[in-house]
Structure 1
Amino acid sequence: MRIMLKSKIHRATITDACIDYEGSITIDKNLMQVANLLPYEQVHVVNVNNGTRLETYVIEGQAGSGQICLNGAAARMGMKGDKVIILGYSLITEEDTLTHQPNLVYVDGLNRITKVKNGVASQNLEV
């Protein structure tokens, strides 16, 4: 078994940071679905602005809101307006590594989906 990238939301913009909330990251439900992320799933969050990397879990945000909110202690790792990369991983059998392709979701500054890539297949979505 190997740990492989399963999901990526690329350069999302933090919309809020709520230190007094339980630790997690709240992500727009639509982004979660397209990226293949589930509530309470472990993710890594890489802050492009300050270089920090944290591990937390996902909480489902309102669909279509564009919400990306760092909660609890994670709120200290980024500020509203920072760009982040959200990564989800899964265990893949050696055999499945030959055909495995992660879901890559690209967003604009308002966290609206602009492109989705699944391996070599790529499609541009209307914004």
Structure 2
Amino acid sequence: MLLTFSADILPYEQVQVLNINNGARFSSYAIEGARGSGEICLNGAAARLAAKGDIIIILSYCQVEDDQAHNFLPTLVYVNARNAITETKRAVETIPF
């Protein structure tokens, strides 16, 4: 299954990429890869902001009306070291410091 499909990210949709390894945060856009490959590629100038093996978080955003915002739950897609999906859920996650 495509990571983009599971995360409800459309082709060419703007995304924000957070690189855990070096702290870089940048905007880019989604391009579908080969189905089932789990491949995450950065092209162009963005390719200089991450290296193979870096741990990244990919965010997408939406706008909702005020009455919907209070009950909105984001889609979270968790993957393993090979980018194979291990869990998908709609929830708000908090991590204690």
Work out whether the TM-score is over 0.5. Answer: yes
**Structure 2 counterpart of 1:116, which letter?**
T
Cα separation, 2, equivalents of 1:89 and 1:115: 20
Unaligned runs of 5+ in 1: 1-28, 121-127
Unaligned runs of 5+ in 2: 93-97
Would you identify which runs of 4 or more consecutive aligned residues in structure 1 move more than 3 Å?
Answer: none
- In the other structure, the counterpart of 1:118 is 90
5 Å matches for 1:11-90? 30-90=2-62
SS in 2 for 1:46: strand
Is 2:72 the partner of 1:100? yes
In percent, how many aligned pairs have the same letter? Answer: 51
- In the other structure, the counterpart of 2:95 is none
Cα separation, 2, equivalents of 1:46 and 1:37: 16
Kindly indicate whether structure 1 or structure 2 has the higher relative contact order, using CA contacts under 8 Å at least 6 residues apart.
Answer: 1
Cα separation, 1, equivalents of 2:5 and 2:70: 24
Task: Kindly report the root-mean-square deviation, in angstroms, between the aligned alpha carbons of the 2 structures.
Answer: 1.1
Q: Provide the TM-score with structure 2 as the length reference.
A: 0.91
Q: Provide the TM-score with structure 1 as the length reference.
A: 0.70
